[in-house]
């Protein structure tokens, strides 16, 4: 395929329920949708799901927009490729900026599979018709508010709940949730908020008694040695997220024993191409994987569903229904879940259509370019 045209849409959607992590609270999401069109007029969509602020990763909406418009799109336009995995090499001189690269990579996969009349999941190596979804819940004003949120999603059928934690909001809320839901698949995510000091280590070790599925990213991204020491000291698996941006990061983490589970995020790893390779590497090492989310709109969320259909994704992934987050999504039909189970689309490409009228109405900025 030869990519002839590219369009970026900067779109802002309000969240139905504000979401707080250890670093910040957000009430809306502003992502960039990528539309690539080949010389035959076939289109594919991707999503740049970087945050508005550099709290999860260095990438932001502004930096991703700059990198995509100035470097990535000019590098890929007008070039002939036989497979979407070749697109990354076209802009390989650009270091970092994986969120922007992920949006372009995703759009290339969507375009290529649509051209071939093949579902994205099958092209990636998916083996399932459905995937199990979990939900991620932020830090709430009170424990009662948190318990109400957990109950709402358990009632909706979601079998796994992830709780955001931070110093001062950890053992007590987890203890209360576990007491109220003794059989629930429960795990916690610190987003790197804890330090390698005696007080914080005591808190993390205290969480070991609650039968958690995992403790996700307890320490800062590069703090693999403390993560390995914690994993050796507790029974609960440590899951790595921000620590693994590249395949080399994953190889290092495996060699150190810095965890036992991997959260694969398409955006963090630079696209579907690297995400599939990370799945293969983790599976060979005996690490189960699951697909984390960045509160993606429907484009990125559907791509996550397709990825989650691969055989190594044995844990519930953050692919909950669109209506958990948004009153209206950018794709038709929106993603739905039946008692926590999501059907993998079988139509060519992403398997859904982008609601372009709504995208234009919700858009705050548009950029168009073409080859030549």
Lowest mean pLDDT, pick from 168-172, 192-196, 325-329: 325-329
Q: Which of 26, 93, 162, 265 is flagged as catalytic?
A: 265
Is 164 among the residues known to form the active site?
yes
pLDDT at 144: 97
The C-alpha atoms of residue 108 and residue 95 are separated, in whole angstroms, by 19
- Reported as a single tens digit per residue, the pLDDT across 178-195 is 999 999 999 999 999 999
Q: Which of 16, 26, 162, 164 is flagged as catalytic?
A: 164
Does the pLDDT at position 141 exceed 70? yes
24 band by pLDDT with thresholds 50, 70 and 90: low
Determine the average pLDDT of the residues in 332-337: 93
pLDDT at 23: 59
Please answer whether residues 161 and 186 qualify as being in contact, where contact means their C-beta atoms are separated by less than 8 angstroms.
yes
pLDDT at 325: 85
Please answer whether residues 326 and 359 qualify as being in contact, where contact means their C-beta atoms are separated by less than 8 angstroms.
no
Is 265 among the residues known to form the active site?
yes
Max intra-chain CA distance, the chain: 63
Q: What is the pTM of this model?
A: 0.95
pLDDT at 372: 76
pLDDT at 28: 80
122 band by pLDDT with thresholds 50, 70 and 90: very high
Element (H, E) at 74: helix 73-76
Determine the average pLDDT of the residues in 108-136: 97
- Mean pLDDT in the chain? 95
Between β-strands 25-38 and 3-20, what pairing exists: parallel, antiparallel or unpaired?
antiparallel
Element (H, E) at 5: strand 3-20
Does the pLDDT at position 328 exceed 80? yes
Give the number of other Cβ atoms within 10 Å of residue 258's Cβ: 25
The residues near 327 (Cβ < 8 Å, ≥ 6 apart) are: 14, 16
Does the pLDDT at position 26 exceed 80? no
């Amino acid at each position: 395929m030869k990519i002839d045209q590219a369009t970026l849409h900067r779109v802002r959607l309000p969240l139905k329920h504000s979401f707080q992590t250890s670093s910040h609270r957000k009430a809306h999401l502003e992502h960039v949708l990528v539309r690539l069109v080949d010389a035959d007029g076939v289109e594919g969509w991707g999503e740049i799901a970087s945050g508005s602020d550099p709290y999860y990763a260095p990438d932001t909406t502004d930096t991703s927009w700059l990198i995509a418009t100035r470097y990535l799109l000019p590098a890929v336009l007008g070039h002939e490729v036989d497979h979407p995995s070749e697109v990354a090499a076209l802009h390989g001189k650009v270091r970092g900026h994986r969120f922007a690269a992920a949006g372009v990579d995703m759009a290339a996969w969507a375009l290529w599979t649509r051209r071939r009349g093949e579902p994205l999941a099958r092209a990636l190596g998916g083996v399932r018709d459905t995937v199990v979804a979990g939900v991620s819940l932020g830090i709430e004003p009170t424990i009662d508010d948190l318990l109400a949120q957990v109950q709402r999603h358990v009632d909706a059928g979601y079998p796994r709940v992830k709780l955001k934690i931070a110093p001062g909001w950890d053992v007590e809320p987890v203890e209360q949730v576990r007491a109220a839901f003794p059989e629930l698949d429960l795990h916690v995510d610190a987003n790197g908020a804890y330090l390698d000091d005696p007080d914080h280590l005591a808190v993390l070790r205290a969480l070991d008694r609650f039968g958690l599925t995992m403790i996700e990213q307890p320490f800062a991204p590069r703090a693999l040695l403390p993560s390995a020491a914690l994993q050796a000291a507790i029974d609960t698996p440590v899951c790595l997220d921000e620590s693994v941006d590249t395949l080399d990061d994953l190889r290092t983490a495996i060699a150190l024993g810095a965890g036992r589970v991997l959260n694969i995020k398409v955006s963090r790893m630079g696209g579907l191409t690297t995400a599939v390779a990370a799945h293969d590497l983790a599976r060979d090492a005996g690490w189960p994987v699951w697909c984390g989310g960045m509160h993606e709109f429907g484009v990125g969320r559907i791509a996550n569903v397709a990825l989650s259909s691969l055989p190594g994704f044995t844990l519930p992934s953050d692919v909950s229904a669109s209506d958990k987050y948004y009153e209206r999504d950018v794709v038709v039909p929106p993603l739905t879940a039946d008692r926590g189970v999501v059907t993998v689309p079988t139509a060519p490409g992403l398997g859904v259509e982008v609601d372009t009228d709504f995208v234009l109405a919700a858009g705050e900025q548009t950029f168009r370019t073409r080859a030549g």
